[in-house]
Amino acid sequence: MKKRLYKFLVFIIVIAIVCTISGFKFTEMWEDPVLYPAKGLSEKVMLSNWFSEIKGTAFDTPVYVFKGSEPGGKVLLLGGTHANEPAAAITAITVLENIKSVDRGTVYVLPWANHSAVTHTDEMEGNPQFFSIDTGKDSERTFRYGSRRTNSTHQWPDPTIYIHQKGTKLGGQEVLNLNRCYPGRKNGYGTEQLAYAITELIREEDIDLAIDLHESSPEYPVNNAIVFHQEAAELAVTAQMMMEMEGVDIRLEESPTNLRGLSHREWGDSTEVQAVLFEVSNPSQGRMRGESSEELIVTGKDKFYVEAAKRDQLYVPYDKEGYPLKLRVARHIETFQAFVETWNMLHPDKMISLSGLPGYSETLEKGLGPYLKAD
């Protein structure tokens, strides 16, 4: 009897140890990596400053504000809408860590728009929880790889059918997708409240230009593209021309008027802002990919996509060199800077003057490491 009791106690202790270790590993996903804002940072505030209902929740997220010494236009850069699209967050982080100065206007940066989505990964996908970027001198920065949707522990249960406030009917899980919940609802689901808070930031701060950063799989038609609200058409066309002259090919896609809940559609309809969304190609989220891995996230190399490209099944050029993270970030930063320059050309009375960001060729040549401060 004593022997059985002893074995039972040992079993319970082992289970407790395993559960404790697993619990610590699980909660590691809730810890934000340290960021190193450039010295020009004016203030770091929480998004709940614009909608107090999300204060203290997993949806509250930092907003980094760089105010110029002179008044001018205001631009909002949003990364992390979908946390399985890492180039978006890394672009926002690169921007906030490298802005040398803002002479005119104001720059707002949200690295993790849907903070909840960064705290978990998609079930059945086998995605890594983290990925690392070499910063040189035997140092690296580690970031989280998250999900397209809000963590269900932060918002539950989902409806069978999600009916957007404008009447569009979507699958129930889309209520967890920030980019289907704009302009948001005060008393809605958590993700809808998050969308409402971002829309309120745009409205209350009189943001002139709002940019939502994204990635899409190589087989998705809207790829390496600018998606623009009709009010931002002139801005988008001019920025595209500037990028083409610099040798960076990028497509234009007009925001469909019947697709409700998307940032570029609802921001443009609900506020005075000129709203656009950038897409770059990300093999790590595509359905044709092979094994999910940290290497795939960073290098973008996948043999199955090489074969798909040979069969003309992709919407982007793809070869054995892959589609690395540095290329995706380089495209985003170049597009962001082209839009700021274009804005200044079209609105000289409300200029946004900033410096310190790397260019497209510079980022490709040096990689991301030199622009991410070492831990």
Global pTM reads 0.93
Tell me, yes or no, whether 26 lies in a domain: no
Assigned token pair, 15: 């289970």
Distance of alpha carbon 229 from alpha carbon 243, whole angstroms = 19
CB-based contacts of 55: which residues, under 8 Å, 6+ apart?
Answer: 46, 48
For the chain of 375 residues, list the mean pLDDT of each consecutive stretch of 10: 64 65 59 92 98 98 97 98 98 97 97 98 92 90 97 95 95 97 98 98 98 97 97 98 94 95 98 98 95 96 97 96 97 98 98 97 96 85
> What pLDDT is recorded for position 31?
82
Given this model, what pLDDT does residue 260 score?
Answer: 96
SS3 content of the chain, % helix, strand, coil (to 5): 40, 20, 40
Whether 234 maps to a domain, the answer reads: yes
In a domain, 8, yes or no: no
Number of domains in the chain: 1
Distance, in Å, from the CA atom of 81 to the CA atom of 118, rounded to the nearest integer, reads: 10
Q: Quick check: helix, strand or coil at residue 357?
A: coil
CATH number for the domain including 155?
3.40.630.10
**Rounded distance, CA 116 to CA 30, Å?**
9
175 located within any domain: yes
SS3 annotation, 34-77: CCCCCCCCCEEEEHHHCCHHHCCCCCCCEEEEEECCEEEEEEEE
User: Could you tell me if residue 2 is inside a domain?
Assistant: no
Which residues constitute the domain of residue 65?
Answer: 32-371
Residue 146 placed within a domain: yes
Q: Is residue 10 part of a domain?
A: no
- Per the domain annotation, does 23 fall within a domain? no
